[in-house]
Amino acid sequence: MSVALNVGLLGVGAIGQILATALDADPSRAVLVAIADQDRPRAEKLAAQLKARPPVVEIDELVRRSDLIIEAASQGALPEIVPRALRAQKDLMVMSVGGLLEHDEWFGEAERQGCRIHMPSGAIAGLDGLRAAAMGRLSLVILTSRKPLAALRSARYVTEHRIDLDRLKEPTVLFEGPPEEACRAFPSTSNVAASLRIAAGKSVEIRVRVIAVPGGSENVHEIQAVGDFGRFRILLENVPSPSNPRTSRLAALSAIATLEEIIHNQRVQV
């Protein structure tokens, strides 16, 4: 008889709430044993709505109680949770993939500790094809992200460059650069760029364009890749989460799919 996976959840925003609800619906395979959020009242409100009534705890206690820690908070939360989890030899699922780009040491530490850092595909598709293409000569990857204004408000790049989004009357290119710069410029909406970098590898040229779309209602990502395999083009038109326009619903669903895969693999190993 397999043992249910103990899951700790950091972050109860749009994605965290969907994950918590999914876990609460079927505790036979995975149990939500604790949640944490910098907004404790929000976490306590969510906990009260769940059948499992998971305790709201601090990060160290979250790590102690969990077999798997799911980060659904922000890039800024990763330095708080990842080193603690790895020291405790706990597996992680990271939603804020952009925060991993400048921390190769975490992957090395995970290998040394015998644990894994899982990364859902997020708001895109085709990462398996991109990884396969990178086994040969992958010449160029271009990501064009078209975002509604609501998804860009308060972004670091918009604030630092004093861009008045409300004055835009037509689709406007706000940013062009590599994934690393995109993740620093748009920390809340650049996980797609980070996922492409991790899948393709550091040596591949990746160009990222962010386009603000006045009147837009979807987060649209177009991925083009060229290499000795040929070329491919993928277009995704993502419906934003009702509670957070910066988050695509597909990203939350990819987290549930990754959790299902983790649970399945655990049962196979048992």
pLDDT in tens, 36-64: 999 999 999 999 999 999 999 999 999 99
Task: Please say whether the beta carbons of 193 and 155 come within 8 A.
Answer: no
pLDDT for res 20: 95
Pairing of strands 138-148, 205-213: parallel
Query: Rounded mean pLDDT of 112-122?
Result: 95
Domains, in order of start, for the chain: 5-119+250-269 (3.40.50.720), 127-238 (3.30.360.10)
pLDDT in tens, 163-218: 999 999 999 999 999 999 999 999 888 899 999 999 999 999 999 999 999 999 99
Rg (CA), the chain: 19
pLDDT for res 2: 58
pLDDT in tens, 101-114: 989 999 999 999 99
- How far, CA to CA in Å, does 26 sit from each of 10, 32, 51, 130? 19, 10, 10, 33
- How far, CA to CA in Å, does 228 sit from each of 169, 205, 222? 40, 14, 20
Strands (DSSP E) along 79-213, which ranges?
91-94, 117-118, 138-148, 172-177, 205-213
pLDDT for res 243: 75
Q: Among residues 103, 118, 161, 221, which one is catalytic?
A: 221
With H, G, I as helix, E, B as strand and everything else as coil, classify residue 166.
Answer: helix
Query: Please, which pLDDT band fits residue 4 given cuts at 50, 70 and 90?
Result: confident
pLDDT for res 248: 84
Q: Is pLDDT at 1 greater than 50 in this prediction? A: no
Task: Please say whether the beta carbons of 91 and 67 come within 8 A.
Answer: yes
103 part of the active site:
no
Taking the model in full, what pTM does it have?
0.91
